[in-house]
Amino acid sequence: MSTPPPFQEIPDMHPPVSRRTTTVTALVRAVTLTLLMACALVGLRADPAAAADGDVTWTVRTAANGYGDDRSSFSYAVNPGGRIKDAMVVANHGKKPLTLAVYAADGFTTGTGQLDLVTKDKKSVAVGSWVRADHATVVVRPGRSAEVPFQIAVPGNASPGDYVGGVLTSLRQSDDAQGINVDRRLGIRVKLRVSGELKPRLAVEDLRVDYTGTANPFGTGDATVTYTIHNTGNAILSARQTVFTTGPFGWWRTDAGTVPAPPELLPGEHWKVKVPVHGVTPGIRMTATVNLVPLLTDASGSTTSLKPVLVTAGTWTVPWSLLLLVVLLVTAAVGGVLLVRRGRARRTLREDARVRDAVAQALNSKKREVG
């Protein structure tokens, strides 16, 4: 698994008690800034990190102990009801003492594919509730480091599978210019695999294909394939995915090309995918196929490909411009045949009339001669 970026600033939604917003403009500005900052990515790693504005003056890393000396994150295999003791090291690189809050939170995948942690005001139900630091705060003197022990108590009824969260250090600072509190966080990812039957599964849901044709009767069109990847199992999974379209009887296959892999999805998570397919031959009926190969990564970093998931959906791709051209050609051909037949009929009628006139004249002449 790749090492994500460090935690970044996450603003608190509540203004400081000592400051009241007195105008609607100030309130709107503060709320807008808070929402924008709340969307900032919160990474998870053990490497030193510093904010761009220099306000984050501390780093976090895993402690060196029986679990390892140079770990990028906390990762454990544990039985239901099991307990783990470990520690995080906090280093103060600033010139003032730091008093940091220490807590844990559950993880989730953001819409941009990054791992984030729920904010402190939201309830954690897994890692965030199982991990407890020995102390709720830690004071670190300038230029010094402090070890923060914590314990993990997995409930006896915990379901087998993967769980992800993080251990966080947090410093709340007031932004007087904007009238909000900003919660600056740094932390380290915690991954637990609770023993029991591992059921890694991905599903492709809500598959849909749309087709856009062209005015050129001999041209090709474009398709858009949309679907949702759903982690229905109990293990963290990524995937390889391919998308292609075919016409009737599997003819005219068109590949979408390289489709980016989804992020590692936690159990229960969804990921929406939209894939364009260019150069599709309109063959009355088109079928879109999604081939999804789940990828399971073990503790050593080795990746295993699981049984592919194959899902199809169809749509109509009627080449209207080509059909119109065919109709016009057929109409012209039929019209031409009718005109030829009509001309022949008219010539036949004229010839018959000429013959009748000639016969009548001959009979009249003979009558005059007899008379």
| Sheet strands (E) in 176-258 | 180-194, 202-212, 221-231, 237-246, 254-255
Residues 6+ apart with CB under 8 A from 196: 80, 159, 160, 161
Print pLDDT tens along the chain (371 aa): 333 333 333 333 333 333 333 333 333 333 333 333 333 333 354 333 333 344 689 999 999 999 999 899 999 999 999 999 999 999 999 999 999 999 999 999 999 999 999 998 899 999 999 999 999 999 999 999 999 999 999 999 999 999 999 999 999 877 656 667 778 899 999 999 999 999 999 999 999 999 998 777 788 999 999 999 999 999 999 999 999 999 999 999 999 999 999 999 999 999 999 999 999 998 889 999 999 999 999 877 899 999 999 999 999 876 655 455 566 678 778 877 888 888 788 888 888 888 888 887 877 777 777 76
Q: What is the CA radius of gyration of the chain?
A: 37
Q: What is the pLDDT of residue 296?
A: 96
d(CA 75, CA 135): 21
Say what the pTM is.
0.73
Instruction: List Cα–Cα distances, 112 to 41, 50, 80, 256, 260, in angstroms.
Output: 9, 22, 32, 22, 13
CA of 315: how far to CAs of 15, 17, 60, 204, 246, in Å? 52, 58, 53, 18, 11
* 8 A C-beta contact, residue 69 and residue 25: no
Tally of CB atoms within 10 A around 76: 17
Q: Compute φ and ψ for 368, nearest 5 degrees.
A: -65, -35
pLDDT confidence of residue 97: 95
Give the ranges where the chain is alpha helix by DSSP (H): 24-38, 127-130, 320-370
Question: The tokens of 24 are what?
Answer: 């609607």
Tell me which residue of 187, 188, 185 sits closest to 10, measured CA to CA.
185
pLDDT at 371: 62
Structure tokens at 329: 């050609």
* Per-residue pLDDT at 83: 97
Structure tokens at 285: 């009926």
Q: What's residue 283's pLDDT?
A: 82
Residue 159 identity? S
Task: Give the three-class secondary structure for 303.
Answer: strand
What 3-state DSSP class applies to 362?
Answer: helix
Q: Residues with Cβ < 8 Å from 365, sequence gap 6 or more?
A: none
pLDDT at site 6: 38
By three-state DSSP, how is residue 40 classified? coil
46: how many CB neighbours lie within 10 A of its CB? 22
Facing residues of 277 across strands?
Answer: 223
Residues ≥6 apart with Cβ < 8 Å to 169:
58, 60, 88, 90, 100, 101, 102, 138, 148, 185, 186, 187
